[in-house]
Copies of this chain bind each other. A is one copy, B any other.
Amino acid sequence: MNAALQGIADAGHATHAHTGAWVAAQLRQRISQGLLPPGAKLSEQALSEALGVSRNTLREAFTVLAGESVVQRIPNRGVFVAAPGAEDVREIYRVRRLIEPAAVLWGDVPAGALDTMDAIVDKARAALAEGSVAGMADANQELHKALVSLSGSASLDALMEKVLAEMRLVFHAMATTPDFHGHYVERNAALVAQIRNGQREEAAAELRRYLDGAEHELLVHIGAIP
């Protein structure tokens, strides 16, 4: 059995309403955290035993996760943790470069939203100060999720969530983990300030440049661009 599966059984296999959804959540979490790395095979037998559910229920969870592009299903070969490549990175940024600036440009800014963002920026600064790459990554994702939430749309929130989950997979797939987020902390802060000042168009334009740069940096690091 894969070492990454150790402890899953401890998570509790009590009888839940909707066991399939519960299994999907368990796997989603393990994958997001980097256990079960990209490309890892999810064997039906091993997993069903480890989680204490039947193969049928596990397969229902696989269907959910495949719909979310969290795992890839290859007929008669099995289910694998998705391993995003350069083209996937480009697709991620196509989506982000469209919905993030659009939300900034046209979204409503409900009361408290700016304060929430300020708090996230503070968290990012604290993480930067103590050199916590993971902390900065988390804060960064939180902030950009907050930007999209200005749209007020649950569907777009869900799409952003899916895209950010794929981003985490990209990072987990990287051999080395340089500091991508350090020099974005203050750019994020400036972005929030612009939104607060009502400079929506400037913020949206700046955000698009920002995302262009981030995409390029990421593509260079995974070796897709010289």
Expressed in whole angstroms, the Cα–Cα distance for A190 and B3 within the complex equals 61
Expressed in whole angstroms, the Cα–Cα distance for A20 and B59 within the complex equals 11
With a CB–CB cut-off of 8 A, which chain B residues contact A59? Answer: 60
A64, CB-defined interface residue at 8 Å: yes
A56, CB-defined interface residue at 8 Å: yes
Expressed in whole angstroms, the Cα–Cα distance for A107 and B59 within the complex equals 38
Q: Which of B64, B95, B97, B155 contacts A67 (CB 8 A)?
A: B64
Residue of B nearest to A103 (CB): B98
With a CB–CB cut-off of 8 A, which chain B residues contact A14? Answer: none
Most interface-central of A103, A153, A208 (chain B CB within 10 A)? A153
Expressed in whole angstroms, the Cα–Cα distance for A68 and B158 within the complex equals 12
Expressed in whole angstroms, the Cα–Cα distance for A107 and B101 within the complex equals 13
Per-position 1/0 for A8-43, Cβ under 8 A of B: 000000000110100000000000000000000000
Contact B208 A98 (CB under 8 A): no
A102, CB-defined interface residue at 8 Å: yes
Expressed in whole angstroms, the Cα–Cα distance for A20 and B66 within the complex equals 13
- Interface positions, chain A 150-202, Cβ under 8 Å from B, are 151-156, 159, 162-163
With a CB–CB cut-off of 8 A, which chain B residues contact A107? Answer: 98
Contact A101 B102 (CB under 8 A): yes
- What are some 14 contacts across the A-B interface (CB < 8 A)? A18-B75, A59-B60, A63-B63, A67-B67, A67-B68, A91-B154, A94-B155, A98-B102, A98-B103, A98-B107, A102-B102, A106-B208, A155-B162, A155-B163
Besides A63-B67, A91-B153, A94-B151, 12 more A-B contacts (Cβ < 8 Å) are A17-B75, A18-B75, A91-B154, A95-B156, A98-B106, A98-B151, A98-B153, A99-B102, A101-B102, A102-B102, A106-B208, A159-B159
